[in-house]
Chain A
């Protein structure tokens, strides 16, 4: 593998930016150039978070072009549907099936589509759709805050890259006392991919 475009999306507070930081570092550790770029304007207030990661021998733009994303990594179901048109035809979607209600739904102006309807729409567009129940797995691993590690585990399993490179990059990034939890969460995410 010498070239990858990732798009990480989710909701503020889910750990999207940390996950994309780690993915960029993995690219560098694999001996490639890596860049990442994020938009997090209102992230703290429950807005959408978007982060691009690119690996290549030489990377120009820090953002991907619509239609060239090899892997869409969505931390939330609705956001997967919103961003799936960035995927290249045949690209992979890794989606955490968690549903986080936006204000437009809670105040009653809109409805959140059924999970199955969203997954079917994703299935129709993605070359491969990987669903992960990040919340449950992270809780099993020891803390719901490790959702992003679970998702990285799943992502690493769909890519042709050594698991250790990911695991080491994760462990270097998180505080030492969460070392064990994150290693468990990573492996659970990896194993969740059939």
Chain B
């Protein structure tokens, strides 16, 4: 930590997500809700550490936004955070909230993922602001993330509308210095004043919608007017032979690669400050736009009749980088430093890839080991989570995956359309509570003969281990009420429910067989076993391979465990490598032991 200026301001390295949490706390946020999703997850995790804020995990993003909306209708400052695709889930409410307006500030953080590092697409959520007709702020480092979050609450209250604070993976997961006031004054949680009724705003029946729409249109004009002189949009004058309009993290690349040229940095990416843009364009010889993903600003600038140089030289696919901006500049013949001299990549030896794999001990392993054995006459409709790795070798047991909870609906549709195969839906526990309940009700209601496997590892593992309704523990660490999945399935009308131990290889296989034999209606197989990163996971003595007995048949390699290695010893006849087990990685889950046909793997006594 470094002290600057006044005694009480400290420069601290914070990630974009931590800075958003800090900004929200400084803005007196009262209630915050989110469903985890990379790269947004740490916003709520960080916010939950501050006193005076009620922060919680919602069962999905729409619920998170609805909860925040209710709080904002009541006059509280509220925040909902989600990854970009989470906004799709929440969009129904978001669009209406634009019409209803809010009393307390309502900020929706959308963490986009250019580069699709951990997502199913690269959608650019600035479009939501335009679609829904409300403002969008686009910070470009952690300090701005803090300041813009505070501003977002002010704007929301000033113009009575939701405000999108847009982050990206690069902002959320980068650390840069933030000015923090020390010491942070503790704050007590304040109860709300009595609810102020406003049905002519908040009850969006058609008559209200028609009356509110002109208000929404006028509001956009008002915000645009405000943005003309707002400090979030600023001109950095330099060499006027080229003027670059940029926003978000792209600004950082421009500042480095195109240093010295004039820059119009847009902080409020919707609605745009058109007079400011015209003024800027009028004072430079040529205008360029550098932005990540879609030509969101560029198209609007062109539509204003302003010529933009280069026919889209900036790539529209993937994350921007210094190298890409430099290349685009060189291609468009903007004078910049040439690309740096490169060191040759290693080609003397072949470098094996390092694909992700289910962890040693993972409760998803025995299920996929079994599932792949039925592949010949089955279709596997998958979902999102660690178990998506079931698509990878050695399992290769996933045929479709589109969005959270879609496994059950897709399986149902395929079966109903006349598939003669066994159709499986494979869904995790967190995903089941997110968007699996209603498609299961649908499968029961319309009676499709599908098999829904719920992989219950008692955590939201993929995103780093968050609690959910099936664990019963809240974000603040309190013991809440745990919802069991089997009774839920039965209550929804599922007549055949099997509950299994996740490491019982034979038991899972039997349940798969029995479920395939069910005559009518959906069946549910609940595979229960805690993720190795939870306190519920029990490490057992490690297993070892008896090299005398091992026939190098390779069966244990097909469980895809990172702890099972090839030993140096080979089988005299086949020349194939026998197995060995890394005692540092092994958790003693015994899945390999169970699949070994010659009992060459045995459990050791010690080393718990």
Contacts and interface: CB of A to CB of B under 8 A. Distances in A.
Contact of B350 (A79, A113, A125): A113
Interface residues of B, number: 58
A44 B359 contact: yes
A85 B346 contact: yes
- The secondary-structure label for the interface of chain A is mixed
A110 B165 CA distance: 45
A140 interface: no
Contact of A65 (B321, B343, B461): B321
A85 B342 contact: yes
A21 B2 CA distance: 15
Contact of B170 (A21, A48, A62, A113): A62
Contacts of B339: 67
Contacts of B343: 67, 84-89, 91, 125
B345 A85 contact: yes
- Counting contact residues on chain A (CB < 8 A from B), the size range is 35 or more
A15 interface: no
A40 B176 CA distance: 18
Interface in A82-118: 82, 84-89, 91, 101-114, 117-118
Given A45-B386, A67-B343, A112 B352 contact: yes
B134 interface: no
Contact of B117 (A25, A39, A107, A110): A39
A24 B13 contact: yes
Nearest to B579: A106
- The secondary-structure label for the interface of chain B is loop
A78 B256 contact: no
A28 B11 contact: yes
Interface string A6-35: 000001000000000100110011010111
A146 B356 CA distance: 24
A44 B351 CA distance: 21
A25 B175 CA distance: 10
B338 to A, nearest CB: 11
Contacts of A120: 348
Interface of B: 1-2, 11, 13, 38, 117-118, 141, 169-170, 173-177, 249, 252-253, 255-256, 321-323, 326, 339-346, 348-359, 386, 389, 393-394, 461, 464, 533, 557, 560, 562, 564-566, 577
List the 10 closest A-B pairs by CB distance, nearest first: A67-B340, A110-B352, A42-B356, A62-B174, A113-B349, A60-B256, A37-B174, A102-B354, A65-B322, A85-B345
13 contacts: A24-B13, A35-B141, A44-B359, A60-B252, A60-B253, A61-B249, A62-B249, A88-B343, A103-B355, A103-B562, A104-B353, A107-B557, A121-B346
